[in-house]
Amino acid sequence: MDKLDNLVARGPVVPVVVLDRVEDAVPLGRALLAGGVSTMEITLRTDAALGSIEAVAKDLPEMFVGAGTVVTTEDCQRVKDAGSEFMVSPGFHENLHKGALDTGLALLPGVATATDVVQALQFGYTRLKFFPAEASGGIAALKALTGPFPQLKICPTGGIGLSNAPDYLALDAVMCVGGSWLVPKAKIAAGEWDAITEIAAAAQALSR
């Protein structure tokens, strides 16, 4: 929980990163840092993910780098070995909890329903990811979901951008939001690092 609270303390938005090339990881990390964003959730959606985590962990110690789309116990160990400091999952299962315990990494599990929340609470998780946020009903659904669970702190992710992030961040239950809008794939592919720095700065300036 301390590591997840560290994640929140670093800013209101966690970039959700998809990388096709390992060589883009460090320049992207530098661009985010220049905009004041010192967290990266590098998702396990591509073959470049583990190498990218390893590169950022090695070359940018000031970046709090974690792994997203962690879904198996094997994933937990692989991202730990790569240098990840935290893990994010789109869902939750007891095996993920075991993987978190075995590796010592903080886990932010995903939930979308009250049943999901109750299951996560059984294992002591009060910091959760609401995913996919907009597709699951957005702010109205999140308010209804967190009403019976005042102990929760939520990171909504999925369909969130600069225009609607402030509405989510205004909710008491929301600790931060996750978003891929900070790291557009087209700008990464083109090496437009200054543009990403500008986007990062705008995201970092959002209030909670």
The full DSSP string for 61-88 is TTSEEEEES--SHHHHHHHHHHT-SEEE
Provide the β-strand partners of residue 41: 16, 66
In whole angstroms, give the CA distance from residue 155 to residue 68: 13
Whether 192 sits among the annotated catalytic residues: the reply is no
Active-site residue, 129 included: yes
Q: How far is 45 from 70, CA to CA, in rounded Å?
A: 9
Nearest CA to 66 out of 47, 55, 79 is that of: 79
Enumerate residues 6+ apart whose C-beta is below 8 A from 135.
158, 159
Q: Distance (Å, rounded) from C-alpha 83 to C-alpha 79?
A: 6
Catalytic residue among 41, 54, 80, 85: 41
Please name the amino acid found at residue 122: Q
Of the residues 3, 85, 129, 187, only one is catalytic, namely 129
* SS3 state of residue 96: helix
Structure tokens at 12: 């209101």
Would you please indicate which residues are annotated as catalytic (active-site) residues? 41, 129
